[in-house]
Chain A
């Protein structure tokens, strides 16, 4: 099946079609660069915090920055985002508070939502968020807006029923959804060629009668423009699109995983030279007159400050309240919970004295 890999910037930083340069303003390039650097620095800090015991198990996304930033920047603030546990790079780009993202990985409920933002809590059970996106987007149609919905998922997720049900529903209902797949090569230890015999993920769009795009997920320019096109189609009432962004997860599945059990990490490091999305953008900037050392230095410093402040905020965040485990299950607390809460709170107060 013919789904050529869409690419704007080659690995060496040259453009596939130089005429595209007109559409790439300096402002846009700076945005790409800033957000990718920002989320990478965040990811590395979070990984270190986990090592120091200051966060719980953490899921890294290093290598997937172009896919996450490129797609997130294509959204309007009124568009919805439905992330997985690995998409907090996209969340941060869509306006989530950094401190809250850290709280999430520190086992705090206050970290799984973003007040005022159109962001779902991270989907932890694989692929379950796809049907949610269909419904969320459909509701926008019923409300007469032209807001759309972007939902993230991995290559492994395509094996779950919810993936297929979500695509079919969206197709039948013409729901304004962009199904954004990050094919990062692995579902924990299982490589994509053992996950499926399909040549690509994007070809599954054919089965549901919706458009599919296979994009170089390490090329932020291509990701951005292709996502934008899919969103435009959605907003014009033309229905859903499946985007497969081909990328790579450089690190472990999470801080609890040991990738040396199933792949050669040195090989991954060697490939990094070609595939690292940030280096690719740097080469592009260098070759096309966008390089600005002073701005880059300032940007790096600003990012570092922001991250340090967010960590401090997270660590100074008021301690978790025990009542929280009871208070948010229902709007009106049923008697069984009222009694359990009262009994436990009384007991713990007695315990403490």
Chain B
């Protein structure tokens, strides 16, 4: 058997290809499809991802197309999936591992905290772990208990893994392809709420979005709103409605939670001097605090008001009868925008 190696197709974005109007979950399937096709080293592992096509259908049709040895229904064990992924990655494969829900990743915590993230450092780059862990996350879809966590901060706190959380079909595909080509491990968080919430024109074929770069989803001079994932939509809705009160917001989707795009944050805050940070995760220990640190370092002298945070509370995500109270709402964000604006 010949040595499995990357397909040497040229690696520029082929924008000449057509566009298709697809949802975020379809964009994710598309990214996986493109990479399975291009790179023989790519393998998908997970629970129910093969025949069933994943509980959210993110891998629909891929086992049929690429075979059971590349799109693999594993036994039910997260530590098994990620631990095996470490071996595959160290030994030249490009595993993409699906954790069915972020709230069920914990049996693999040890593997991630002590091996996925440290292999490069421990071996001075002799052995590396280029893997992607995909995990649906977040509340707001009336899911059963424990399916709704947004615990990105456990992972941004671990040195050695990048954390990405896209908010649109276009970004999801481009960032997932980048993650799959990244030399280091990446946790790729997929908002369940956004999976099918809207369609967007997405280029066919291969293209990349840069990891570690934020994106402005709305331009304004008065208040900076910083967020990611499912909250981008909510924050944008809040910002749009502030126009009635003549408040113009810069809305930033940071897209990558580690490493953060310090420049996009600094530029905007230096301009507006007023900031609202929005996230779904609990407030204490949340990534919002890292954003505060960036602002403190890069734009402190520009601030005109104390920074507001609109976040989930320091409580477990409640069962669905109360989850809407846990989740930051557009109305709560509006109140915060108004507060920093009128300080």
Contacts and interface: CB of A to CB of B under 8 A. Distances in A.
Contacts of A334: 314
A325 B313 contact: yes
Contacts of A325: 313, 315, 318, 322, 325-326
B103 interface: yes
Contacts of A194: 73, 75
A157 B313 CA distance: 32
Contacts of B284: 336
B48 interface: yes
Interface string A107-146: 1110010000000001011100000000000000000000
- The size bracket of the interface on A is 35 or more
B47 A188 contact: yes
A177 B75 CA distance: 25
Given A188-B48, A190-B47, A347-B332, A156 B76 contact: yes
Nearest to B318: A325
B313 A56 contact: no
A3 B170 CA distance: 55
B142 interface: yes
B145 A57 contact: no
B18 interface: no
Interface stretch (A158-166, A223-231, A264-272, A301-309): A158-166
A159 B319 contact: no
A320 B48 contact: no
Which secondary structure dominates where chain B touches chain A? loop
Interface in B58-114: 73, 75-80, 103-104, 106-107
A200 to B, nearest CB: 16
Contact of B76 (A112, A159, A336): A159
B325 A322 contact: yes
Contacts of B244: none
B144 A124 contact: yes
A322 B322 contact: yes
A203 interface: no
Nearest to A326: B315
Nearest to B60: A261
A194 B50 CA distance: 12
A172 interface: no
Nearest to A156: B76
A107 B321 contact: yes
A340 interface: yes
B52 interface: yes
Contacts of B142: 56-57, 107
Interface in A234-290: 254, 256-257, 261-262
Contacts of B50: 189
A188 B144 contact: no
Contacts of A340: 283, 313-314
B331 interface: yes
A121 to B, nearest CB: 8
Contacts of B315: 325-326, 329, 337
Contact of B144 (A56, A156, A347, A351): A56
Contacts of B104: 125-126
Q: Which of B52, B79, B146 has the most CB of A within 10 A?
A: B52
Given A106-B321, A125-B146, 11 more contacts: A109-B318, A112-B319, A126-B104, A159-B75, A159-B80, A188-B52, A190-B75, A325-B326, A329-B316, A336-B284, A351-B331
5 contacts: A56-B320, A124-B145, A190-B73, A324-B318, A344-B325
